[in-house]
C-alpha cells in the first residue's frame, strides 16, 4: 500500500475502532446524522436552536389538510421530511415518515412533508400511492430549503416540544430513535437545554477519553486481525438488535422479507474460487459484498474507488469484497438479444481479471465467484436473482444478510452505519482491540 494510503488507513483505524460513527458535535445518544464537512458543521450549530417558524407561512400550497401554522406545533414534537415526487429515494422516505406518524400519533407527533419547488403537480398523487396521510406542502420559493441548508432529497429534521430543532438531517436508521426521544419528553424536559447539553457533553467527553487512550506512537496495524479475548456473541445478542429496515416490496424482491413483511434473515453462502490479493479476515467484521464483471461497465466504474475509500475509512470494522460473477448471472438483459452467450469459466475471464489485478492497487479484496454463489443466499429464501447494479449486500458478523440495495443511495450509508454501530460482533472485537492496546501500553 502506498505510504499516503497507509497513513490514512492508520488514522481510519483509530477513528473507527475507538469511537462511534456519529457527528462529533452535539452527538445525541445513538442518533446518526447525514452530511459532512462545512454543511454538517452549520447544521450542528442549528441544533437546539428555535426552529424557524416563518417557514410554515411561506409554503405556497398544501395537501392532505389545512395549512400548518406555527401555533399548531405548540407543545408538540414534529418530524419533517423534504422530498420530491420525481426522486425515487425521497418517495420511499415517505413510507418511513408515515410509519412514524402512525406509531407516535398518540403522543401528538406532527409529520409534514415539504416538497421540492419542482414537480408539485404530481406530489399529491405520488404521496397517495405511498399511503401518506400527513400534510404535505409546496416549498415553491425554497424558503425551507434555504433556512435548513437543504442540498438533497430526502432529509429528516426533528423538532421537540419546546420548538427546538433537536436533530438536523437525521439518518433514516435513526429517525425512529430521534422521534421516540422527543415524543416521550414533556414540554419542560424539552425546554431544559442545560440538561440536554450536559448529556451531550458527557457523551463527547466519553468519546474523547476513548480516543485519547491511544498512545500516539502505537502502530495500530500491529493489532492482530482477531485480538486475544475476542468472543463470538451468542445468537440472542443478534436477535436483540434493531437491524436496518427495508421497504416491503424491495425486501421481498431480494429475499430478506416474506410476504407478510417479516425478516427472513438469510445466511450468507459465498464460495469464491479465487481471491486477490488474499482472502480477508472477516471475524468480528461486517461484510459489504458488491458484484461486478469486466464487461458490465456500470458495475465497477467509480465503484472500485468508492469501495476502496469505504475500506480505508472502516478499516477494522468492515471487510469490502468485490465479487466477480458471471455476466449472465449479473445482468440477465445482456443475453436477451439472440444468440448463445459464451460459457464463462475462470480461464475465459482470467485475462480480463489479470488486467484489473495487475494494473491497480486495491485497498479492498476482490474475489472470483463466477457461479454467483453469494446470490444463492437469497434465492434459497425465494429472493430475486437479479441484483441491483451497482449494488451491495451488507452482512452482519453472524453471517446474516441484513440489507441489500444500490450503493449510491443514501439508504446504503444509513444501513451501513446502523449495522456497524449495533453489530454485537463488531462491539466485541472493538473491546478486544482496546484491551490489546491497553496491554501493550503497560
Cell of 327: 455476466
Any bridge partners for residue 156, and if so which?
81, 170
Dist. CA 51–CA 163, nearest whole Å: 6
Which residues fall within 8 angstroms of residue 52, CB to CB, at 6 or more apart?
147, 148
**Single pTM value for the model:** 0.55
Residue tagged 435513526 (cell numbers)? 174
Q: How many CB atoms lie within 10 A of CB 130?
A: 18
Which residues fall within 8 angstroms of residue 224, CB to CB, at 6 or more apart?
436
Segment 142-151 shows an average pLDDT of 88
Kindly report the backbone phi and psi dihedral angles of residue 83, in degrees, each rounded to the nearest multiple of 5, phi listed first. -155, 175
Q: Residue 442: its pLDDT value, please?
A: 63
Mean of pLDDT over the chain:
81
- Identify the weakest region by mean pLDDT among 33-47, 129-143, 326-340, 345-359: 326-340
Segment 117-142 shows an average pLDDT of 94
Q: Residue 441: its pLDDT value, please?
A: 67
Say which residue, 276 or 83, is predicted with more confidence: 83
**pLDDT above 80 for 222:** no
Say which residue, 142 or 19, is predicted with more confidence: 142
Say which residue, 346 or 181, is predicted with more confidence: 181
Q: Residue 127: its pLDDT value, please?
A: 95
Segment 139-153 shows an average pLDDT of 88
Look at strands 274-276 and 286-292 and give their pairing: unpaired
Q: Residue 337: its pLDDT value, please?
A: 45
**pLDDT above 50 for 274:** yes
pLDDT tens digits for 341-375? 456 666 767 777 777 777 677 889 998 887 778 77
**pLDDT above 80 for 52:** yes
Say which residue, 312 or 320, is predicted with more confidence: 320
221: confidence class by pLDDT, cuts 50, 70, 90:
low
pLDDT tens digits for 403-431? 988 888 778 888 888 898 889 999 999 88
**pLDDT above 90 for 165:** yes
Q: Residue 179: its pLDDT value, please?
A: 95
Segment 162-182 shows an average pLDDT of 91
339: confidence class by pLDDT, cuts 50, 70, 90:
very low
Segment 307-313 shows an average pLDDT of 85
168: confidence class by pLDDT, cuts 50, 70, 90:
very high
**pLDDT above 50 for 217:** no
The crossing angle, in degrees rounded to 10, of helices 424-441 and 3-18 is: 110
pLDDT tens digits for 189-201? 998 888 888 887 7
**pLDDT above 80 for 15:** no
Dist. CA 369–CA 389, nearest whole Å: 16
Dist. CA 321–CA 330, nearest whole Å: 16
251: confidence class by pLDDT, cuts 50, 70, 90:
confident
The percent of residues in the chain predicted with pLDDT above 70, rounded, is 80
Q: Residue 89: its pLDDT value, please?
A: 80
Q: Residue 96: its pLDDT value, please?
A: 93
Dist. CA 350–CA 98, nearest whole Å: 50
Q: Residue 346: its pLDDT value, please?
A: 65
Cell of 239: 436477535
- Identify the weakest region by mean pLDDT among 3-7, 114-118, 396-400: 3-7
Q: What residue ranges define each of the domains in the chain, with the CATH number in brackets?
A: 31-191 (3.40.30.10), 238-334+342-429 (3.40.30.10)
Cell of 249: 416490496
Amino acid at each position: 500500500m502506498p505510504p499516503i494510503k497507509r497513513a490514512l488507513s492508520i488514522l481510519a483505524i483509530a477513528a473507527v475502532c475507538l469511537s462511534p460513527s456519529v457527528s462529533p458535535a452535539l452527538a445525541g445518544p445513538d442518533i446518526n446524522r447525514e452530511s459532512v464537512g462545512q454543511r454538517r458543521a452549520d447544521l450542528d450549530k442549528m441544533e437546539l436552536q428555535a426552529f424557524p417558524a416563518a417557514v410554515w407561512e411561506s409554503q405556497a400550497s398544501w395537501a392532505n389538510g389545512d395549512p400548518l401554522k406555527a401555533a399548531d406545533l405548540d407543545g408538540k414534537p414534529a418530524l419533517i421530511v423534504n422530498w420530491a415526487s420525481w426522486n425515487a429515494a425521497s418517495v420511499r422516505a415517505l413510507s418511513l415518515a408515515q410509519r412514524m406518524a402512525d406509531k407516535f400519533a398518540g403522543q401528538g407527533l406532527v409529520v409534514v412533508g415539504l416538497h421540492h419547488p419542482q414537480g408539485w403537480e404530481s406530489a399529491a398523487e405520488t404521496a397517495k400511492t405511498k399511503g401518506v396521510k400527513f400534510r404535505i406542502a409546496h416549498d415553491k420559493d425554497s424558503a425551507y430549503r434555504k433556512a435548513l441548508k437543504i442540498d438533497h432529497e430526502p432529509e429528516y429534521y426533528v423538532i421537540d416540544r419546546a420548538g427546538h430543532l433537536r436533530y438536523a438531517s437525521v439518518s433514516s436508521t435513526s429517525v425512529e430513535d430521534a422521534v421516540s426521544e422527543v415524543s416521550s419528553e414533556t414540554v419542560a424536559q424539552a425546554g431544559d437545554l442545560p440538561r440536554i447539553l450536559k448529556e451531550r457533553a458527557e457523551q463527547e467527553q466519553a468519546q474523547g477519553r476513548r480516543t485519547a487512550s491511544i498512545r500516539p506512537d502505537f502502530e495500530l496495524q500491529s493489532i492482530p486481525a482477531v485480538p486475544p479475548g475476542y468472543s463470538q456473541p451468542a445468537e440472542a445478542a443478534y436477535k436483540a438488535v434493531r437491524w436496518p429496515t427495508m421497504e416491503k416490496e424491495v425486501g421481498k424482491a431480494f429475499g430478506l422479507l416474506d410476504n407478510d413483511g417479516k425478516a427472513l434473515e438469510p445466511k450468507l453462502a459465498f464460495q469464491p474460487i479465487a481471491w486477490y490479493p488474499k482472502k480477508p479476515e472477516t471475524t468480528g467484521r461486517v461484510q459489504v459484498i458488491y458484484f461486478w464483471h469486466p464487461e458490465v461497465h456500470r458495475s465497477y466504474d467509480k465503484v472500485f474507488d468508492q469501495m476502496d475509500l469505504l475500506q480505508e475509512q472502516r478499516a477494522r470494522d468492515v471487510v469490502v469484497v468485490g465479487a466477480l460473477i458471471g455476466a449472465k448471472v449479473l445482468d440477465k438483459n445482456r443475453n436477451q438479444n439472440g444468440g448463445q452467450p459464451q460459457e464463462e469459466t475462470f480461464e475465459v475471464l482470467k485475462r480480463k481479471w489479470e488486467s484489473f489485478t495487475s494494473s491497480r492497487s486495491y485497498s479492498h479484496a476482490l474475489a472470483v465467484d463466477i457461479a454467483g454463489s453469494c446470490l444463492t443466499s437469497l434465492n434459497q429464501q425465494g429472493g430475486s436473482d437479479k441484483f441491483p447494479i451497482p449494488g451491495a449486500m451488507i452482512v452482519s458478523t453472524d453471517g446474516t444478510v441484513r440489507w441489500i440495495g444500490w450503493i449510491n443511495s443514501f439508504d446504503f450509508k444509513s444501513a451501513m452505519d446502523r449495522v456497524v454501530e449495533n453489530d454485537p460482533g463488531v462491539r466485541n472485537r472493538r473491546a478486544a482491540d482496546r484491551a490489546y492496546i491497553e496491554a501493550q501500553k503497560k
